[in-house]
Structure 1
């Protein structure tokens, strides 16, 4: 399998359409609170600038239903202007008159940013007609949006059919993400430990099954731990449980035993009766969760147990928080684990989404080896899937 890199294309002096992932978090005033995804795209953009290209950038933001000023990419244009120290021409639409006119007048070395792709229905429907219109914004197509490459959307999949293999390729960020996960799953330095959390087993089931034969230890926390504990016959109170996956949880426990993989589950929890900031909490062992109470974070004994398990790790893959970290009361377990992983000498890979947000809130993002820009996309790579946006860039006669 060979994915064509931007470096293999003859870009000089031409026009380039770059699909970026500028789906950044914003506060209620429209200020960007974390610009990691924008900064991650700079290497590809600068490479095209160095090759004297006309550059058209495209991205989605949020999940708007048609045009909605709240989801405009104007704040992204401002941040790009600050980071690149050059003017960004902002289109008022995606494939409308304004975008077309601005593209016609675009000069080499200039950058045009289209409005939010999801203002157009055709984007999420993978509409070939919409994709065809987008393809008119560049002689070359570059996908650098790892965070959406697991989605067969018009700007990710359908558009690639309008370019031959000499005119489409992957940007630096996309290649880095794929190579990192490929190396991680094929040739990890051992011991290799996976830390898996989040609320539901269902969203991580395939990833757990695919990871088991590859890891030496697996640590399971977050809401998904209660499905495993219930499968083992424990009382979990009102904690989140997916009853239809209890058999799957037992199968994973059995498979881990067969493979000699050490599986760790939490031994204590922070529990409360309601999910709110001012609710009373208790610290209890997994044997003592009271009826009517729910576990919302791992307890101090579990933090110690998980730290012991991670002590000799040479590679750590972390996907999913240990509790409801957005609320201070239930963030401690996740934060303490984050601090410990950050201090480890292991290769530390953070699987995008909530986990990336969590390590940033904990102030540990600079210490991690690699933080993926895509939660869902990194999960699908861990599941062993080929992403639609990546499949479209594979060169048949490559090595």
Structure 2
């Protein structure tokens, strides 16, 4: 399929302006309507939305299972495990988004999801059987790469959803993904405390196989929007980045927020398992239940972005994240109640901002949502890997106050992105 430049009259409804009246970008030569060139979209029933949400949450959970287990992994493999394992996993996720997620615009997404989940199950078995740190780090990296099946599910939902409710539908599927992120820590903490860290990875392998079956039988088979070679597919990503300032700003702001998010979560277990708290991995995992309440705001944020504007949601989300680190810094080092309040704030803030950013960018190029997702989430999880590394190193060097300073700096930088964004001129 040929690529062509498409001229747009202005920003789509509900999306933030690009800063220019007309934007050109490289997309597949496909019109944006929902039934084109013989490619009629199937119905999008509630069961399909539920399946996508479960698959997204079940896949992404695998990159967070290791976080409540860091104390156990340090006992088994030494202190380096607390830095190398979560960092390798998040870095693998970022690379997988960059290398694999664009294929959803050129190959059937259902088949991609099934294949990735089956390979993921095999790698999780390798992690469960690891007897050395290098093997576990390699397994963690591959777990991250293959867990990007979650990022096939999100643009799949955006593709199937009607335009008028896309933000709401993406919010619903993202609720599943976000609950997977947060509840993974709770489940991992409990299983790790009572059965050991190997049981966590072995159980995750069984779940990945079950989700592969759900994808095969529960998702529609849809012909891809583009018929592009891999080189052309990747080249068009660079064109989108160069020509879409909204995409660049969304990627930057969310990457900074996710750096703050992971700086906190990768060190939380190390804080609460030490004096004065003395919790076990199960207790550390319970904080995921508190944070899960924040994931429930995703459909609300999506509805607001559909009907009004995403910019206030972005500003509010970053401000809540910054407030969370203020709470952590003032009281979180000695109060479990303050930690709980901060967890709720950080998860509401990061999740609301993410839905608003997704609503903005998915409206930019209907035929290229997989590649847009690639740009957004490659930036996000690159930021996450940086935040995980910076957070654990800051905690090791200066304790909890140093961690709060690093996380707060990331959140403050993210808040500046929408605040400094040029507001649109009123139309005459």
TM-score by length of 2: 0.23
- Largest Rg, 1 or 2: 1
More strand by proportion, 1 or 2?
Answer: 1
Larger relative contact order (CA 8 Å, sep ≥ 6): 2
More helix by proportion, 1 or 2?
Answer: 2
TM-score by length of 1: 0.25
